[in-house]
Amino acid sequence: MVSVPARPFPFELDAQRCALIVIDMQRDFVERGGFGESLGNDVTRLKAIVPTVAALIAGFREAGLLVIHTRECHRPDLSDLPPAKRNRGNPTVRIGDPGPMGRVLIAGEPGADIVPELGPNNGEVVIDKPGKGAFFATDLDAILTRRGIAQLVFAGVTTEVCVQTTMREANDRGYECLLAEDATESYFPEFKKAAIDMITAQGAIVGWATPTAAIVEALHG
C-alpha cells in the first residue's frame, strides 16, 4: 500500500489491485466539429487535458497495470438507443445523424473513436457503452472481477456526467475510486467543481480526488 495525498483524506493505493479507466476521450466530444461542439460547447476545455490523460496512461502502462478505455456509442441500427436519449434537447445534430466525423456516436464511425493521442495499445480493454455509466449493459464488472481489481483510478470526460456516473456505479459495486482531478474536464467549469465536491463529500462518499502527478508518483515511488 502507498498513501496518496488526496481529498478528503489520503487514499491507500494497492497498485497490484488497481486499474485505470479512461472515460470517453472520443473525437466527437473532444475535437472541433464533433458532436460536443454541435451542442454549442467549447471543446477546447476538454482538448486541454489530453496531455495530462496521456501522462496518466503512460504511468499505468510503465507500471504494468491494467488500462481500460470507454467509448459512448450505439449500434448502427440504434436498437440500443432509447428514444428519450436521442430526442432530448434541441441539438442541430442528433445521435445517429450524419456529422462531420460520420454518424454521431455510432460504433465504428470516426467520431466515436478515441482521440489519436490517447489510443489504446494492443491488448488494452475497450468498453463500448450505450449509457453514461460504463457498467450499464457492458462486461466491465466481469472483466475487473476476473482480474482481481478492487481499486479504480478515473480520468476522462465529462466529469459530471459519464465520469461521475461510472464512479457511482463502481462505488455501489464495492470498488474504491480515485479521480485524477486534472485529467478530467467538463464543458462547464462550475459543473466539474460541483461534481468533485459531491464525489469527495462526507468522507469520500463516492471516492477520492487528487492530481495526476500524485498518482503517477505513487505508482513508481
* Active site members: 24, 129, 162
Tell me if the bond preceding 116 is cis, omega within 30° of 0: no
Question: Of 45, 14, 18, which is closest to residue 188 (Cα–Cα)?
Answer: 45
Question: Of 126, 152, 154, 122, which is closest to residue 138 (Cα–Cα)?
Answer: 126
Tell me if the bond preceding 92 is cis, omega within 30° of 0: no
With vertex at residue 119, the alpha carbon angle to CA 115 and CA 125, rounded to the nearest 5 degrees, is 125
Q: By the 8 A CB rule, do 140 and 134 touch?
A: yes
> Could you tell me the sign of the dihedral formed by the alpha carbons of 35, 36, 42, 47, in that order?
negative
- Residue 219 has phi, psi (to 5 degrees) of -70, -30
Q: 134: which 3 cell numbers?
A: 460504463
